[in-house]
């Protein structure tokens, strides 16, 4: 008989709001934090390019079950476009593939930018983690393969030109929904202006409830001397579930839910849940809480809570 292989590391659960430095991949950050926390399981809530710095949500342990909510959250970016050069990666890390002498002025940029707000169709960059026939697009791109990525509809809530420090550069602020690529915006905006351009600097300043004002720098985490100090930087599992209504359950219900069983909700709990689940009365997604701790995510149907994702803490 085979033996159960013991998991390496210790059980750590929660979210960490990390301010990622540039010149390091999101996967490398995960590896560093896994070692620092001596954690069994670590993941991130949305890739940030090596060129970019800023907010990288990190999920530990059972919080990895809520990663999708971080990935789907609204995001904010500050970035600089360098005009006159297009690169294969659409940023400063790539090879220059085309150049031009055209430099758009502020009025032209602001006029063109209006077409990039609201729902827009966007083709993701070929150097991205999108899967094409089971392969990562960036792997195919590096191998020189010819392929196409279909366009997708993304939402840009706000796109503003902040400044034009010189003729070659323009600085922007964008607030977007899920699936949006800043590099693709730079490509398409340059195309609309009849010039070349690529991202020269990029900083993500917010992912959902995680913002730069409350972020912890990776270097500061590495400088911490005790495990207790590190653990104090974690937010609870439900940190990214701020828009999901919750129901308070009893200790007995919590024990049943952790066994995968559904439980009956008391009338006053149901009444509060109905009041909080607006503006979408058809959405039955709910977070079960006991003693200020997340127990499970599930659905409320016919006065009962049916667990879907149970947090084993």
Annotated catalytic residue: which of 49, 91, 188, 256? Answer: 49
Looking at per-residue pLDDT, the higher value among 253 and 282 belongs to 253
> Domain check: are 189 and 215 in the same one?
no
> Domain check: are 228 and 298 in the same one?
no
Contact criterion met (CB below 8 Å) for 233 and 16: yes
> Domain check: are 127 and 194 in the same one?
yes
Q: What is the pLDDT of residue 162?
A: 98
Q: What is the pLDDT of residue 1?
A: 43
Whether residue 1 is contained in a domain is answered as: no
Range of the domain at 42: 14-73+210-238
Whether residue 140 is contained in a domain is answered as: yes
Query: Tens digits of per-residue pLDDT, 109-130?
Result: 999 999 999 999 999 988 777 7
Q: Does the active-site annotation cover 49?
A: yes
Nearest to 181 by CA among 148, 157, 156, 147: 156
Contact criterion met (CB below 8 Å) for 253 and 262: no
Number of domains in the chain: 3
What pTM does this model have? 0.91
CATH assignment at residue 151:
3.30.2350.10
Q: What is the pLDDT of residue 279?
A: 60
Q: What is the pLDDT of residue 275?
A: 82
Distance CA 32, CA 81 (A): 31
Whether residue 2 is contained in a domain is answered as: no
Query: Tens digits of per-residue pLDDT, 193-245?
Result: 999 999 999 999 999 999 999 999 999 999 999 999 999 999 999 999 988 99
Whether residue 46 is contained in a domain is answered as: yes
């Amino acid at each position: 008989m085979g033996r159960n292989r013991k998991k390496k590391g210790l059980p750590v659960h929660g979210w960490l709001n990390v301010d990622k430095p540039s010149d390091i991949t999101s996967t490398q950050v995960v590896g560093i934090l896994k070692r620092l926390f001596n954690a069994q399981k670590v993941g991130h809530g949305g890739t940030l390019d090596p060129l970019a710095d800023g907010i990288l949500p990190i999920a530990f342990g059972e919080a990895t079950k809520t990663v999708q909510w971080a990935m789907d959250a609204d995001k904010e970016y500050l970035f600089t476009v360098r005009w006159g050069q297009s690169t294969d990666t659409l940023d400063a890390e790539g090879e220059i593939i085309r150049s031009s002498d055209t430099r758009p002025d502020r009025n032209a940029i602001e006029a063109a930018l209006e077409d990039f707000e609201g729902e827009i169709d966007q083709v993701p960059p070929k150097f991205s983690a999108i899967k094409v026939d089971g392969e990562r697009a960036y792997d195919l791109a590096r191998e020189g393969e010819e392929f196409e990525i279909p366009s997708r509809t993304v939402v840009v809530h706000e796109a503003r030109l902040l400044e034009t420090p010189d003729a070659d550069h323009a600085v922007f602020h964008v607030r977007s929904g899920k699936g949006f690529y800043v590099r693709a915006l730079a490509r398409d905006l340059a195309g609309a202006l009849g010039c070349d351009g690529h991202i020269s600097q990029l900083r993500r300043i917010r992912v959902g409830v995680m913002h730069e004002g409350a972020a912890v720098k990776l270097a500061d985490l590495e400088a911490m001397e005790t495990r207790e100090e590190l653990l104090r930087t974690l937010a609870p599992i439900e940190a990214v579930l701020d828009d999901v209504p919750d129901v308070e359950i009893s200790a007995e219900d919590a024990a049943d839910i952790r066994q995968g069983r559904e439980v009956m909700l008391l009338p006053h709990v149901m009444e509060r849940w109905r009041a909080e689940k607006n503006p979408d009365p058809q959405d039955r997604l709910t977070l079960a809480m006991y003693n200020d701790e997340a127990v499970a995510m599930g659905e409320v149907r016919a006065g009962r809570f049916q667990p879907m994702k149970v947090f084993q803490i």
